[in-house]
Amino acid sequence: MNAAPPQALTALARLRAAGYEAFLVGGCVRDSLLGRVPEDWDLTTSARPAQVQAVFSGERLIETGLKHGTQTLLLDGQAMEITTYRTESAYTDHRHPDAVAFTASLREDLARRDFTVNAMAWSPEAGLVDPFDGQGDLNRSILRCVGDPMRRFDEDALRILRALRFSAQLGFSIEGATAEAANALRQTLELVSRERIAAELTKLLCGADARRVLLTYWQILAVPLPELAPMAGLDQRSRFHCYDVLAHCAAAVEAVPPEKLLRWAALLHDVGKPRTATVDQDGAGHFYGHAAVGAEMTEALLTRLRFDRDTVRRVTALVELHDYPIAPPEGSPERAIRRLIGRLGEEDFFRLLALKRADALAHHPDYRERAAACDRIEALARNLLAQKAAFTRRDLAVNGADLVALGVPRGPAVGALLETLLDEVMSGQTPNDRAALLERAGKCAFGA
């Protein structure tokens, strides 16, 4: 546990000095043993919440989940969660324990945790405490429930999705009985709040091994995401494709950088294909209009999962545009690029390129050259941005007030003239220069 921040070691030492047991526990122990950087540092202690407060009186201690014995301590800018050893009684709603009881036993606290690799504790004095062979499972790269998986998933359905999420993040396989139980109880995921589902799915999609998890466990994922089911096994009947629709999307997920917007867009970019599938006389598959249908489905799906409006809007735009030729052979590619940057903004424009590149790479090996076209467009776009080209009316060296000052009547004429000037700037006809634009505006408005 060499990587533990000194503040966490100080907190352990202060609890110990006051006569309590205290350990680092859960994800931070797991990740440290794997040589990964932990998300957060969690402590578990025999001290009751009020005793924790007494030990850290004078420090910043936030009552984050006092009902469950959890408080967040801030020491020298480092946050950590301190939770009292606890056990959980019956779960009647498949999600929340009916009651939480504190216990004096570390082993009991570890026994309530979800997976063996998450049920290890460590302190400088005791070293690793590992009653369920979490370390063995870490070495074997296996996720296994602590105790009977049917019971553990039945208690809390979110654990089913956590298993898939850790499998994707850590590249671990899910042990046989644990995977069987997850599959058998998958319908109970309907009882988990949509926000929690969305958060786990995003972590899963951003995992390095998301593609394998999508392909292996799509029947479980299809409970919160029923849109996936008709994608699985849907033959594209096309020489351009070597995968069915779901496998193609999973390959695209793997090929985009691991961030929320892109991973969701890659998963859903062809979600409209099942509804638009047709087969022509020669037996070839077509999916006319699948991007527009897919955009509608994406908007509905992400809204259902309670994603914020900005996320919904941006992922939907990526799905809608994924098949759109950025620079058609006729017409100026620069102009098309400028228009699109004006519409999407710079960041999402490059996301769209990343999605298109990934889409191309997820095709049959003989038809992946479209990825190179994305590289060329990217180079052109970077060049335009370096020149500080105009992408929207706001980027023009003149504004509406300037035109009114010239004598253009207030109202729609101003907007129309700005649009004409933007077109001329974007096509290179007029430089984006104040004097030049005022002169052109005068000519256009008054023929002078």
Beta carbon of residue 33, minimum distance to ligand ATP (angstroms, whole number):
12
Of the pair 168, 418, the CB lying nearest ligand ATP is at 168
- How many whole angstroms separate alpha carbon 172 and alpha carbon 216? 12
Beta carbon of residue 219, minimum distance to ligand ATP (angstroms, whole number):
21
The helix (run of H) or strand (run of E) holding residue 84 is: strand 78-84
Answer for which of 3, 6, 19, 40 binds Mg ion (CB under 5 A) is 40
Which range, of 36-44, 129-137, 328-336, 381-389, touches ligand ATP by CB under 6 A? Answer: 36-44
The size of the chain, in residues, is 448
Count of residues touching ligand ATP (by CB under 6 A):
12
Of the pair 144, 314, the CB lying nearest ligand ATP is at 144
Beta carbon of residue 26, minimum distance to ligand ATP (angstroms, whole number):
3
121 binds ligand ATP (CB under 6 A): no
159 binds ligand ATP (CB under 6 A): yes
383: left (phi over 0), alpha (psi -120 to 50) or beta: alpha
Answer for which of 3, 10, 39, 331 binds ligand ATP (CB under 6 A) is 39
Number of other residues whose CB lies within 10 A of the CB of residue 355: 24
- How many whole angstroms separate alpha carbon 431 and alpha carbon 118? 62
Beta carbon of residue 126, minimum distance to ligand ATP (angstroms, whole number):
17
- How many whole angstroms separate alpha carbon 166 and alpha carbon 334? 43
Number of other residues whose CB lies within 10 A of the CB of residue 375: 11
211 binds, among ligand ATP, Mg ion, none (CB under 5 to 8 A by kind): none
Binding mask 7-36 for Mg ion (x = CB under 5 A): --------------------x---------
Residues 6+ apart with CB under 8 A from 377: 326, 327, 333, 337, 353
200 binds ligand ATP (CB under 6 A): no
Beta carbon of residue 40, minimum distance to Mg ion (angstroms, whole number):
4
Number of other residues whose CB lies within 10 A of the CB of residue 73: 23
Count of residues touching Mg ion (by CB under 5 A):
3
- Do strands 78-84 and 42-45 pair parallel, antiparallel, or not at all (unpaired)? parallel
- How many whole angstroms separate alpha carbon 307 and alpha carbon 303? 6
Question: Which parts of this chain interact with ligand ATP (CB under 6 A)?
Answer: 26-27, 39-40, 42, 113-114, 118-119, 156, 158-159
